[in-house]
Amino acid sequence: MKIAVIAKTRLPIAEPFRGGLEAFTHALCKEYIRLGHKITLYAHADSDPELNVKGFYGDAYRENVYFEIYENDEYLSIIEDIEENNFDIVHNNSTHELPILWGVKASIPVVTTIHTPPISKLKAAIKICSGSKNLHFVVPSKSFEATWQPYLNDRSIVIHNGVDLNKWPLVRTSRDYLFWFGRIVHAKGLDIVIDTAHELNMPLKFAGPLDDQKYFDEQISPRMTENDTYLGHLKQSDIQLHMRGAAALANAVRWEEPFGLTNIEAMSSGVPLAGFDRGAFRELINAESGVVAEQRNVKSLAKAIEAAIPLESGKVRRHAETFSLSMMAERYVNYFEEVL
């Protein structure tokens, strides 16, 4: 199968990943290639060249006050190139509205995986266009499907995200510290995790890109003690090293997260989860792999962490195996074949 994969183009699809969407797109494209499919990844020009990348912009214009105009032009260029290259199907992973609007009358089917909550332009495009027989929609969790259902005209299926189980082997051997990794922004709740680590008198290690410097300066840095260690923005292999001594991974998001790939990466490494009942979190765990906090506050999260720490790493890993990259990719390919 010849697949055109459209990425969110603002950030490179390359390590160290800035977020779950970049990691998802990278892993899925590699798996498509491993399965013998021919892909072209339309993405930021600095993306991993092993993915047969076609990029129209690198970092040029990204900080320009008129970037939205350049971004529109970029997606128009992507659409024009797809039309000229005889693909069988388009897998759209962007968060831009133009691939949706174009897909209504495109000459090939367009399958869009929705990665963000209903927001202005994307929500409007999907609500207006989702009745088109040429458009097909995938959501990564049942909870997220319910969020989008009012705008989708019942045209969606759920395919859970997955991770490369070989890239995230079971490594947890001790329970030395609390661990957290992700984009450092208010919505991810790192400040709550730090307060919870202090409540438990546990060391905390955390990693991720500083996507909101003001949040870090005002909410994170002042909270940190000698027991809290910021590891920086790490590659996945370096994150994996720190899973070895992780007692648990804490999740304190402030939004209805569509999936939460870091949760699966931790469980695959044998690290149990504790987190708030928001977004897809409850959908991702079972009694042997994680604990849901009864309330969305520090004391409740601390209790959940204490309950999660004793969970057996082998059983945590076995649950993570139900979210494998290979299973996810096969489900996408099977769906593409159904569509075609």
Residue 80 banded pLDDT, cuts 50, 70, 90: very high
Residue 245 is predicted with a pLDDT of 98
The interaxial angle of helices 20-34 and 261-268, nearest 10 deg, is: 60
Mean pLDDT across 41-61: 95
pLDDT, tens digit (0-9, with 9 covering 90-100), for 205-242: 999 999 999 999 999 999 999 999 999 999 999 999 99
Residue 164 is predicted with a pLDDT of 97
339 CA to centre of own chain: 25
- How far apart CA 24 and CA 142 sit, in angstroms, is 18
Residue 155 is predicted with a pLDDT of 76
Domains present along the chain, CATH in parentheses: 2-162+324-339 (3.40.50.2000), 177-322 (3.40.50.2000)
For residue 222, the one-letter residue type is: P
* pLDDT for residue 61 is more than 90: no
Give me the DSSP letters along 268-282. HTT--EEE-S-TTHH
For residue 171, the one-letter residue type is: V
pLDDT, tens digit (0-9, with 9 covering 90-100), for 176-205: 999 999 999 999 999 999 999 999 999 999
Q: Which residue has better confidence, 154 or 113?
A: 113
Burial class for 60, CB neighbours closer than 10 Å (0-12, 13-18, 19+): exposed
Q: What is the DSSP letter of 324?
A: B
Mean pLDDT across 18-25: 96
Which of 151, 31, 142, 49 has its CA nearest to residue 91? Answer: 31
Residue 24 is predicted with a pLDDT of 97
Residue 63 is predicted with a pLDDT of 83
CA dihedral 76, 118, 329, 209 (to 10 degrees): 90
pLDDT, tens digit (0-9, with 9 covering 90-100), for 231-271: 999 999 999 999 999 999 999 999 999 999 999 999 999 99
Average pLDDT, whole number, for the chain?
97
For residue 93, give the 3-state DSSP assignment: coil
For residue 138, give the 3-state DSSP assignment: strand
Residue 123 is predicted with a pLDDT of 96
Residue 153 is predicted with a pLDDT of 80
